[in-house]
Every structure is written in structure tokens, then in C-alpha cells.
Amino acid sequence: MPQGIAPRGRLVRRFVESHSEWLQTTVSETEARYQAELDRRFRAGAEVEFQGRRLQLVIESGGARRRVREGAEGTLIVQLPEGTGSGLDQPVREVERLRLEATREAVEAWLKRQARLELLRVAPIHLGRLGVEAKSLRLGNNRRAWGTCSGRGIVRVHWRLIEAAPELMEYVVAHEVAHLVVPDHSPRFWETLGRTLPDWRERKLALERWERAAE
């Protein structure tokens, strides 16, 4: 039985915001809401959450492929190849939409890369302290769980945790690693988690607060 840390608010909201959920509504309504959301979150000057900070998006043109890097003074610089979104007879609105879409893809790919690096940095610390091994460490995209640990030893954490402060992502990683030792949520589990993460209670509460915090 995989154990999950169930998201209460944030992830559920995020999911509702995502394109796929809107297929139930009319196409034009779906499209309009998606456009508004894309524009709100990925236009130049919008804020991207990263490790508990807010980075301001700067969009640049140039180069042969998309690049994303953290800039000075809390910026996230997205470089789109020259001419992204433009084509013959392309209406301006469509060019803008394609550029926003390209920005979203670039930012999310960058966040996933950072999440993977953080997972690979943090998990070995807790695996080592608890003296266990994971079969594999993976990023997840499960709307119902921030993290899971399968009976076969596969630890998964949701990539969006990279938006939260590092202590919160570490809590989820350590929690799932502790499930390699004790699969359920018995007192022995929390005692095990406490051996590798003594302040897990504070972090658990902070994760719940972060989840509830509205954007």
C-alpha cells in the first residue's frame, strides 16, 4: 500500500487551474480561462515560486533554444529563441499565446530539473541516517499525494514541492524515506522519522500552512 501525504489545498487548486480539468466546460470558456491563467502566471513580470521565494520573470529573445536561469536580484530569466510563436500570417494574439505557452513549458521544465537535483541531494542524507536503500528516487505528478513510497521501495515526491521552502520538501522526502523502514503511520513510524528529522512536527505544520496559503 503506497502511503501518501495528501495535499489539502494548493495542489488541488493547481490542478483545477490546469488545462485538462477544463475539458468539462465549453471549449471557448475553457480556452478563455486557460489564456487568462497563462497570461497571469507567465507574462514578463509575473512571479514564479521557487524554494519559498518569488522570482520575477524576465523574458528575453535570442539563442537557438529555450534557456532558463536565475538572474540577479530575484529574477528568473527565460530566453526564448528568436521568432518564437511567429509564423506566416500569424495573428498577434496567437504569437503572444505561443510565447506564453513556450514560457510555461520552459519554466516548468526548469522547476522539474531543480526538483530532481534537490531530491537527489536530500534523499541520500536520510537514507544514510536510517540505513536503508531506495530502489529508485523519482519525481511525481500525483494530484492526491505530495509524496509516496511504494512497497517495492520506490520513493516519489511531487515536483511542485520545489516551489516551497527547502525545509518543506525535505520533510516530504524524509517522510517517504522513513516509510522504507515503517510502511504505516504507527508511533514507530514517527519515532523513525524523528531520528532523521527531529523537527518534523514544525515542518509538517509549515507544509500545511504553505498549502493553505492562497496565491
Binding footprint of Zn ion on the chain (CB under 5 A): 3
| Of 3 and 51, CB closest to Zn ion | 3
Distance (Å, whole) CA 158 – CA 145: 7
Distance (Å, whole) CA 178 – CA 193: 5
The nearest distance, CB 102 to Zn ion, in angstroms, is: 37
- What is the DSSP-derived secondary structure letter of residue 183? -
The nearest distance, CB 149 to Zn ion, in angstroms, is: 7
Closest-by-Cβ residue to Zn ion is 3
Q: Which amino acid is it at 55?
A: L
Beta strand 53-61 with 75-80: parallel, antiparallel or unpaired?
A: parallel
Distance (Å, whole) CA 187 – CA 197: 15
Beta partners for 82?
Answer: none
Distance (Å, whole) CA 159 – CA 65: 23
The nearest distance, CB 179 to Zn ion, in angstroms, is: 6
The nearest distance, CB 168 to Zn ion, in angstroms, is: 15
| Of 34 and 189, CB closest to Zn ion | 189
The nearest distance, CB 203 to Zn ion, in angstroms, is: 13
Beta partners for 157?
Answer: 139, 147
